Structure 1
Amino acid sequence: MKVLVVNAYVRENAGDAALLAVCLRQVRAAFPAARITVAGMEDRAVHPAFDGAANIGSIRRYVADAGVGTARRVLRKAVGFLAAPLLLAPRPLARLLRPLLPAEVRREADAVAGADLVVSMGGGYFNARPGLDGYQNVFYVVLPLLLAQRRGVPVVLAPQSFGPFPAPAQRRLAAHVVRRSALALAREDVSVEILARCGVRGAPVRRAVDSGFAFAPPPRLDWRARLGVGPEVPLVGVTARQWLTADQQNAYERALAATIDAVRATGAQVVLIPQVTTDYLGDDDRIVERRIAAHCATPPLRVDEQVDFRELKGLYAECAYVLGTRFHSVIFALTSGVPCIAIEYEHKTRGIMRDLGLESWVLPIADASAESLGALVDRLRTERAQYLRVLAERLPDYVARAEELPQLLRAATGRQRAGVAG
């Protein structure tokens, strides 16, 4: 059996890397003899494989490659838009025009056509924003899925968020792809509601759990020794990201800095943890965290190097609590039994924390201030035992649900094949 996993991101995003690692493990659990290939945003010349699965690059990576000059990038985008109708053309015409396509585009198209199953990995990428960039994102996300569906290859959307889709054309495209999938797993109720507003209700949409809750690598580093923090000192983790307009971003960063100063005044140590360290789209948390550290009365600890996502998971386990903006940093901490205050920038944060009975610990990023963050930190100190009781009650079932994908894959592909055969 040949399984193609599409829409993979980069390993420098620890959350997405964890989702891909879990996805590959669960696909292998469902189909032990399968040959798995990954089509994602990593250059195969740099990273030829991920966890034993060959990487072939992708059409999406080809058109968005920031490693080429501006003129070539514009040309690649033009080629990408021209390639799409060729790939979606009737098979005889598509075969005739195939040699005209760039090698990386051909590789993904050929892998889709030759697959027995296409899995779109979990995450928060199936959305669109206003403007041309929003249309481009959703277009290239769904392109390999459209190719698979035209070839009769079953498509499964692993647990992910859907939306927003601000434009009618975006909603129609999303609905078209989701409706024709063998299974579409939504990781929070808001995504189910968004798909319903797009016109997709019921099957193949099903509520599921973020695959990050199934990510449990063994600890490999002594983080306290690495940071120089003794076992008797409470360690508080903080994650941040670039998200807001310039003035709002500055206010958010200064609010975090003031909160860090207040936490350190209690005798705790604080470490700024970069959950994402990629150059792609300038999305490197270390840049933000350097600014936050500069706003502090005394700079806190920082992890300023790129760290393997498995090793990073162990750092959260050393914390007394985490103040997390990157939501998979919150998941990494919660699955280690560590309480979190979650700063919300997309609906996945509130939706998943609501599932766990922890919605009152969510603060919208636009509302983050020294006062609002400080109030939650003070409340956590007094309600820590209650928080941990809720976590102990809710988390085991949630983690168990995160391990349902192998069974769901077998059931969904079995139904799809039976329908084709009938």
Structure 2
Amino acid sequence: MKFVMLHGYSDSNKGDLAIVVASIHALRQLYPHAEIALQTVFPRDDPDFDFHHRFVTQLGITVEPMGIPSPYSDAQQHSFMRNLSAMWTLARSTLIQKLLFAWPSMRKSFPGSSKSLDQLRSADVVLLKGGQYIYNDQGGLRGLLYLWRILYPIKVARQLGKPVVMLGQSVGPVIGDRAKGMVSKALATCQRLMVREDLSAQLMETMGLKEITVVAPDMAFLTVPRKPTAASVEISRLVHGQWLGVTVVNWNFPGAEDPKARRAAYEAALANVCERAFRTFGVGIALFPQVTVRHHGESDMDMIRRVEAVLHFRGVDVLSIADDLWPDEFSFLYGRCRVLLGTRLHSCILAACAGCPVIAIRYQGYKTEGVMKGLGLEQYVHDINNVNEDLLFESVNQSLVQRDSISETVLARVASYRHELMAITKAEVDLACARP
């Protein structure tokens, strides 16, 4: 069976990589002779294209750009000229795809652009990779263009008569009637929609998609922790010490009146809670770069360095992991922490896979609440837009004190999720193949 998975992203986002790796392993276990191709949002002329996919290409799959990849081929700050160039690139890519769809014989004129369409033509099943990318939290024309680019491949796959299955997604937020109409129309053509929490399922119901929607855990819960092959000083210290793990997100606080002030408050709260945990419980602070891909010229590493510098100045025992690791290796290291204070959702999931208690800071949509509720940890969710330092520290306190009992509960949930995921994935793919 041939699978084409859409919307691949960068291996520098370890959460996205965890979803892709887990999905590939699951498909190969369920369909031993499966051929798998991943279509990525990065254009071939992106100078970091190979680096973005340095891990997944080791798994024996084909990686190619999507028919209409991201019109941005760099990670610089937005500007008028950069956005204008992106609009031209988007229009050109769309025109080429329409020409190739109507006249396949033109593939010799556009050999690079024809590969994605040829892969879709030869596929038995088209999969929408899990995660969260069907949204437009900023609204406006740019949000609509983004949604259109993300949804367009679904239309192409269905026009080719291919069954489309959406793997574990958090859909939304979707702002405005026009955007909701676009999402509803595109997803209605899919055979099956797997969403990873009840709030997304409720959104699907409001769009009239209840009958084809099923709730399933995030694919990354299939990750099995593995000890890193790297042996850096930081990893050695982490394995043998007592640590509070921390992940951050370099969030731009869309819609806030003063985004810089909000970011500073979030950063300060993290540093203060880490210092209090160090002085109260004697735990060191381990900072993890869950995502190092740059957006608008910045990445999570920029914030990690700032927090690390503040903690060093205050005399706190702190380290940051600089190793470029597989998701299962990150999961192992999270498991060596007493507790994880995680803003990046998949750092929380990978920690849970290793039985580490998790305190989550939500930052986009409702994906975090849904995942944490499923783990029985909904009382340990905080909002990035209004981080209360005392409440956050109290969550750290409770999690450290109840570490063993929380770990036991989390591991039981994860074990159940793994069985559920394999059964649901098999059932939904088979059902999609049986439908017209």
TM-score, structure 1 normalization: 0.89
| Residues 2-47 of structure 1: CA deviation (Å, up to 9, x unaligned) | 2211101110000100100111122223332232211013566624
1:309 aligns with 2:327: yes
Quote the offset at 1:362 in angstroms: 0.7
1:30 aligns with 2:30: yes
CA distance in 2, matches of 1:314, 1:390: 18
Structure 2 unmatched ranges of 5 or more: 254-258
CA distance in 1, matches of 2:272, 2:377: 24
CA distance in 1, matches of 2:115, 2:68: 12
Contact 1:186 1:207 in 2 (8 A): yes
Which residue does 1:350 correspond to in 2? 369
- Residues 309 and 400 of structure 1: CA distance in aligned 2, closer, same or farther (over 3 Å): same
Which residue does 2:303 correspond to in 1? 288
RMSD value, Cα: 2.7
1:150 aligns with 2:179: no
CA distance in 2, matches of 1:7, 1:216: 24
User: Given residue 255 of structure 1, which amino acid in structure 2 is its aligned partner?
Assistant: A
| Residues 250-284 of structure 1: CA deviation (Å, up to 9, x unaligned) | 00000000011111112111111010011354452
CA distance in 2, matches of 1:386, 1:310: 23
Contact 1:5 1:118 in 2 (8 A): yes
Quote the offset at 1:237 in angstroms: 0.5
Question: The residue matched to 2:175 in structure 1 has which SS?
Answer: coil
Question: The residue matched to 2:69 in structure 1 has which SS?
Answer: helix
Which residue does 1:271 correspond to in 2? 286
Which residue does 1:80 correspond to in 2? 90
CA distance in 2, matches of 1:72, 1:250: 28
Which residue does 2:340 correspond to in 1? 322
CA distance in 1, matches of 2:133, 2:330: 22
Contact 1:6 1:38 in 2 (8 A): yes
Question: The residue matched to 2:237 in structure 1 has which SS?
Answer: coil
Contact 1:11 1:309 in 2 (8 A): no
1:210 aligns with 2:218: yes
- Residues 181 and 224 of structure 1: CA distance in aligned 2, closer, same or farther (over 3 Å): same
- Residues 42 and 192 of structure 1: CA distance in aligned 2, closer, same or farther (over 3 Å): same
CA distance in 1, matches of 2:104, 2:423: 38
Which residue does 1:53 correspond to in 2? 61
1:126 aligns with 2:134: yes
- Residues 269 and 223 of structure 1: CA distance in aligned 2, closer, same or farther (over 3 Å): farther
Quote the offset at 1:225 in angstroms: 5.3
1:235 aligns with 2:243: yes
Which residue does 1:261 correspond to in 2? 275
User: Given residue 157 of structure 1, which amino acid in structure 2 is its aligned partner?
Assistant: M
| Identity in percent | 24
- Residues 33 and 399 of structure 1: CA distance in aligned 2, closer, same or farther (over 3 Å): closer
| Residues 55-102 of structure 1: CA deviation (Å, up to 9, x unaligned) | 1122443522217998687445324235436645795x44476666x5
CA distance in 2, matches of 1:405, 1:223: 38
- Residues 382 and 220 of structure 1: CA distance in aligned 2, closer, same or farther (over 3 Å): closer
Which residue does 2:256 correspond to in 1? none
CA distance in 1, matches of 2:69, 2:247: 27
TM-score, structure 2 normalization: 0.86
User: Given residue 125 of structure 1, which amino acid in structure 2 is its aligned partner?
Assistant: Y
User: Given residue 84 of structure 1, which amino acid in structure 2 is its aligned partner?
Assistant: T
1:251 aligns with 2:265: yes
Question: The residue matched to 2:210 in structure 1 has which SS?
Answer: coil
Question: The residue matched to 1:64 in structure 2 has which SS?
Answer: coil
Aligned pairs for 1:381-396 within 5 A: 381-396=400-415
Question: The residue matched to 2:431 in structure 1 has which SS?
Answer: helix
Contact 2:226 2:331 in 1 (8 A): no
User: Given residue 325 of structure 1, which amino acid in structure 2 is its aligned partner?
Assistant: T
